[in-house]
Amino acid sequence: MALYSDKVMDHFLQPRNVGVIEDADGVGEVGNAKCGDIMKMYLKIDDDIITDVKFETFGCASAIASSSMATELIKGQPVEDALKLTNKAVAEALDGLPDYKMHCSVLAEEAIQKALEDYKSKQENTSQN
Ligand code: FES
């Protein structure tokens, strides 16, 4: 059996939503201290709906495929649903990752959570002013 599913290979070779959103409403950056890989997510949010999402990942094939799939899963979704996205759901959408590569999908979950936290804290600041 091939190590990676066709979907992992597809999202690794042709990642969706790569790039930067200059005026993002939420940005989240996370890293894995063990492998040194870094993932950054940018969210554009209108009326609590994620209208655009881009990512930059300096990492392994699984991390790139996970970020790409995660952006596809949350694009167009309400913030509340994106908050519930788990790394398991990302890995399942990719038709699985090898066990020792599951931690790569955790980066995608964490980067999205962090970007959403950033969005929420910016909103609180605006409402206080
Ligand atoms: Fe570092 Fe995959 S080996 S995220």
Tell how far CA 22 is from the center of its chain.
17
CA distance 73 to 9: 17
Which 3 state secondary structure label does DSSP give 48? coil
Give the Å distance between the CA of 16 and the centre of ligand 1. 18
pLDDT tens-digit readout, 2-53: 789 999 999 999 999 999 999 999 999 999 999 999 999 999 999 999 999 9
Task: State yes or no: pLDDT of 1 exceeds 70.
Answer: no
Task: State yes or no: pLDDT of 60 exceeds 60.
Answer: yes
pTM of the model: 0.94
What is the per-residue pLDDT for 126? Answer: 80
Q: Is 26 in the pocket of ligand 1 (CB under 6 A)?
A: no
Of 4, 11, 12, 37, best ligand 1 pocket probe by most atoms within 8 Å of the beta carbon: 37
CA distance 60 to 67: 11
pLDDT tens-digit readout, 108-127: 999 999 999 999 999 888 87
What is the per-residue pLDDT for 43? Answer: 98
Residue for token pair 């959103």: 21
Which 3 state secondary structure label does DSSP give 30? strand
Domain boundaries, the chain: 6-128
For the chain, how many residues are written? Answer: 129
Question: pLDDT-derived band of residue 54, with 50, 70 and 90 as boundaries?
Answer: very high
Position 17: which residue type?
A: N
Q: Which CATH number fits domain 6-128: 3.30.460.80, 2.40.110.10, 3.20.20.70, 3.90.1010.10?
A: 3.90.1010.10
Active site residue 60: no
What is the per-residue pLDDT for 127? Answer: 74
Q: Is 64 in the pocket of ligand 1 (CB under 6 A)?
A: no
